[in-house]
Amino acid sequence: MDEVYVSEVMTNNITACSPDTAIKDVINILSRNRLSSLVVTENDEPVGIITERDLIAIIDEMLNDGVRDNLPIKLFMTSPTYTIRREVTLQEAVKFSISKKIRHLPVVNENNKLVGLLTQTNMIIGLS
């Protein structure tokens, strides 16, 4: 098998922001462009990165004021959600995930009961 280089698989059209970009604008950029991270640059040089995990930590801090602690998750969740059956091949699951632009697929049985979760990481490991 030939060697694969980063340049062959990397994303070339990068969306970036400056360190002074307001957090609400960062969230807007990530959401509008369906991104999981945003590189922070100064003079086209990377000086940082903001990821979904970073935003979760920020939201956690914002919600710790106690006022919003009891809001139901239904106000925030994606619904309805796509699911997949456990009998589907991994290759089919990957194609489905790509076509829907999703990284997590709840796995259901013939009664539509949750039996697992197929993540992007699972897919990568399974195809390795």
CATH no. of 84-127: 3.10.580.10
Pairing of strands 16-17, 45-51: unpaired
What's the fold here for domain 6-75?
CBS-domain (3.10.580)
Structure tokens at 100: 């829907």
Q: In the chain, where does the domain assigned CATH 3.10.580.10 lie?
A: 6-75, 84-127
Reading the block at residue 1, the tokens are 């098998």
pLDDT band (50, 70, 90) for residue 10: confident
What DSSP element (H or E) covers 84?
A: strand 84-85
Q: Taking all residues of the chain, what is their mean pLDDT, rounded to a whole number?
A: 85
For residue range 12-40, list pLDDT tens digits in order. Answer: 788 999 999 998 899 899 999 999 899 99
